[in-house]
């Protein structure tokens, strides 16, 4: 399998983790890497604010974690990251502005990490990049996708584009290695019409409405996940409530709170195995005091600690 080549991030790495841009040499428990460019619906939208998110997330490092010996009080008992081998894999390049090639390399990066038993953590970019990221999981079968999002993302196409930010769950539903889809935090208006709801329901996607989670908590969602499942988490930042995650484009009041996420990650790790994480739709220009970057960075750490420190 061909190892992807990535670009060294500008500024420092995420949390001062060692940087690896030649993935042939990659050895780690988990690798975080940037995938800045989703396929746009209009050509001028290739370079959107979400493209700046990997950089903005790295820039918030000192506020996410002051040192590897510090313990995470959300873990019982409190644990640190010291025994984990975590690497910043750099950013997927955009050669000559070619987003097709960008997607292919993102897909190859996920596939390569999986083949080495390394947990992939991709950071977008808009939700379009979820399409190649999920395709790259094909080295594992019987995967349950856990999508945190305000939006369904079941459009077959928009403006003729089938790999854009409105389609990742539709594309995922067509893949043999995806056998379950749980959509968590769905609410309000998006690009979904009645036919998208019908397609999702007919396929068997479990739609966990934000309204039900607000009333009943996150436990019914955890209960609905399969025992022994292999869970891939795709986290659209707008799935969380804007009071927790204001730095998004498609703001939707009424989303998940911090503890829903922590409990969901814990529930998944207890029920089965978390095989990877994809974070998308962070918008640095809309952030408030780096709150969204700090939150996203710590969610990333919480997920890795649940899976790797058992």
Q: Which residues are near Mn ion by CB under 5 A?
A: 149-151, 236, 238
- Coarse DSSP helix, strand, coil percentages of the chain, rounded to the nearest 5 percent: 40, 20, 40
**Least separation, in Å, of the C-beta of 236 and Mn ion?**
4
Order of strands, sheet of 206-209, starting from the edge strand that comes earlier in the sequence: 86-91, 30-35, 119-124, 273-280, 230-236, 143-148, 178-186, 206-209
Closer to Mn ion by Cβ: residue 49 or 238: 238
**Least separation, in Å, of the C-beta of 67 and Mn ion?**
33
Closer to Mn ion by Cβ: residue 127 or 266: 127
Structure tokens at 167: 């389609």
| Cβ–Cβ under 8 Å, residues 93 and 10 | no
Closer to Mn ion by Cβ: residue 229 or 239: 239
Closer to Mn ion by Cβ: residue 143 or 248: 248
15: nearest Cα among 310, 306, 308, 300:
300
Run of H or E residues at 91? strand 86-91
**Least separation, in Å, of the C-beta of 184 and Mn ion?**
12
Closer to Mn ion by Cβ: residue 21 or 183: 183
Length of the chain: 310
Burial readout 169-206 (b: 16 or more C-beta within 10 A, e: otherwise): bbbbbeeebbebbbbbbbbeebbbeeebeebbeeeebb
269: nearest Cα among 221, 224, 231:
231
**Least separation, in Å, of the C-beta of 17 and Mn ion?**
28
Question: What angle (nearest 5°) sits at the alpha carbon of residue 54, between those of residues 290 and 145?
Answer: 100
Decide: helix, strand or coil at residue 207: strand
| Cβ–Cβ under 8 Å, residues 174 and 138 | no
Closer to Mn ion by Cβ: residue 245 or 308: 245
Q: Around 6, how many Cα atoms within 13 Å sit in the side-chain half-sphere?
A: 32
Rounded CA gap, 156 and 14, in Å?
35
Closer to Mn ion by Cβ: residue 222 or 251: 251
Closer to Mn ion by Cβ: residue 165 or 231: 165
**Least separation, in Å, of the C-beta of 228 and Mn ion?**
29
**Least separation, in Å, of the C-beta of 251 and Mn ion?**
10
Closer to Mn ion by Cβ: residue 74 or 149: 149
| Pairing verdict, β 206-209 and 230-236 | unpaired
**Least separation, in Å, of the C-beta of 25 and Mn ion?**
35
Give me the residue whose beta carbon is nearest to Mn ion: 151
| Beta carbons within 8 Å of 194's beta carbon, 6+ residues apart | none
**Least separation, in Å, of the C-beta of 149 and Mn ion?**
4
**Least separation, in Å, of the C-beta of 260 and Mn ion?**
16
């Amino acid at each position: 399998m061909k190892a992807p080549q990535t670009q060294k991030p500008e500024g420092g790495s995420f949390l001062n983790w060692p940087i690896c841009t030649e993935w042939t040499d990659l050895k780690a428990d988990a690798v975080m890497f940037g995938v800045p460019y989703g396929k746009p619906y209009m050509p001028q939208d290739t370079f959107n604010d979400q493209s700046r998110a990997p950089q903005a997330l790295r820039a918030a490092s000192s506020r996410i974690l002051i040192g590897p010996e510090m313990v995470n009080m959300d873990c019982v008992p409190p644990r640190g990251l010291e025994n984990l081998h975590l690497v910043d894999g750099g950013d997927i390049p955009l050669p000559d502005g070619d987003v097709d090639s960008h997607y292919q390399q993102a897909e190859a990066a996920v596939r390569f990490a999986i083949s080495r038993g390394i947990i992939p953590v991709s950071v977008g970019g808009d939700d379009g990049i979820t399409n190649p990221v999920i395709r790259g999981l094909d080295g594992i079968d019987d995967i349950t996708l856990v999508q945190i999002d305000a939006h369904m993302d079941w459009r077959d196409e928009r403006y003729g584009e089938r790999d854009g930010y409105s389609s990742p769950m539709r594309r995922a539903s067509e893949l043999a290695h995806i056998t379950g889809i749980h959509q968590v935090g769905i609410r309000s208006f998006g690009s979904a019409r009645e036919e998208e709801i019908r397609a999702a329901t007919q396929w068997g996607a479990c739609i966990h409405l934000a309204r039900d989670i607000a009333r009943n908590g996150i436990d019914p969602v955890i209960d609905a996940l399969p025992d022994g499942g292999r869970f891939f988490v795709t986290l659209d930042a707008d799935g969380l409530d804007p009071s927790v995650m204001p730095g998004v484009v498609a703001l939707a009041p009424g989303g998940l709170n911090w503890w829903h996420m922590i409990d969901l990650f814990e529930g998944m790790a207890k029920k089965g195995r978390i095989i990877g994480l994809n974070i998308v739709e962070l918008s640095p220009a809309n952030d408030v005091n780096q709150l969204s970057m700090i939150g996203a960075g710590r969610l990333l750490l919480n997920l890795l600690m649940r899976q790797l420190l058992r």
